Amino acid sequence: MRVLITGAAGFIGSFTTHRLLDQGETVIGLDNLNDYYDPTLKDARIARIQDRSDANRFEFIKADITDSGAMAHIFESGKFDRVVHLAAQAGVRYSIENPHAYASANLTGFLNILEGCRHNNIEHLVYASTSSVYGSDTSMPFSEHVGADHPLTFYAATKRANELMAHSYSNLFNLPCTGLRFFTVYGPWGRPDMALFLFTKSILDGKPINVFNHGEHQRDFTYVEDIVSGVVYALNNPATSADHYDPRSPDPAISSAPWRVYNIGNGKSVGLMEFVKVLEVKLDRKADINMLPMQPGDVLATWSDTSDLKTDFDYQATTSIEEGVGKFV
């Protein structure tokens, strides 16, 4: 199987590439290597892939998903079977400062992916969404079968828009599409703007860590390899139309079109201060904590209901916080 992975130099994208190569697939990795964070980290992730003994089944393409001409050519010449779309402008808080970057990458870029899939007989499009789409919803755990139409940031709004855009293409062109709502991903080779990376670096440098909402946050921390397991399960099982879909009482998780959305999380909500304590143990150092008020766009808690993924693919996250943080450290 020839699989296009966009965002292949990214955190989740690079791990997904390794997993698919391990399974014998041919992977074409695409990334624009932008400088949202240090590009040397992205270069290093790609270098790790290219150093593999089976790197002959990997090809890297430097390109921007917002370039419609380039993307049309890549799709036409690539002869891909399936697509994993992970490229995006990431970061919740940065979307407050620079919303245009999100409109370009997450809306125009995603449209180019949909068009590429539509015109080139792609068997299945799997794309990244986010738990942030649940926004102001406080009913826990978050379920795909409950509406997600009150996002609190523009980043979350673009990802919810991706789910709706995918549904329209699925309906119009019979394109199987699966959206994956990731919950607080962490692990080795993670992004430098993520909490675990920021906390660890500050503690090692003897600097205070900023803990928002006075440490009252709770998150469904999910180890990157568990996320990738869900991505691969979904990729191997193209979305189909749901026989039991009722248009008079529509279920937000399914459709009469070949379209699905799934949560991928650990299925547990952990207090942020508990997370910090585990990190202190793994580093054998105490953190100097700077308690701060809640930030705009933040949510108090996240907690995933992953029962659909369990039922459909026998998915279960297996990595504890202690193990995952230890691997990062």
Of the candidates 126, 123, 241, the residue with the CA atom closest to the CA atom of residue 177: 126
In sequence order, the 6+-apart residues with CB closer than 8 A to the CB of 49 are 8, 14, 17, 18, 21, 29, 55, 58, 60
Q: Which residue among 155, 223, 233, 262 is the active-site one?
A: 155
Give the distance from CA 282 to its chain's centroid: 26
CB 224 within 8 A of CB 328: no
Bridge partner residues of 58 (DSSP): 27
What is residue 61's DSSP assignment?
E
Residue 181 and residue 65: Cα distance in Å, rounded?
21
Residue with tokens 């919810």: 160
**Separation between Cα atoms, residue 209 and residue 202, nearest integer Å:** 6
Does residue 232 sit in helix, strand or coil? helix
The yes-or-no answer on residue 155 being catalytic is yes
Query: 10 Å Cβ neighbour count for 109?
Result: 26
Nearest to 179 by CA among 253, 241, 113, 242: 253
As annotated, the active-site residues are: 155
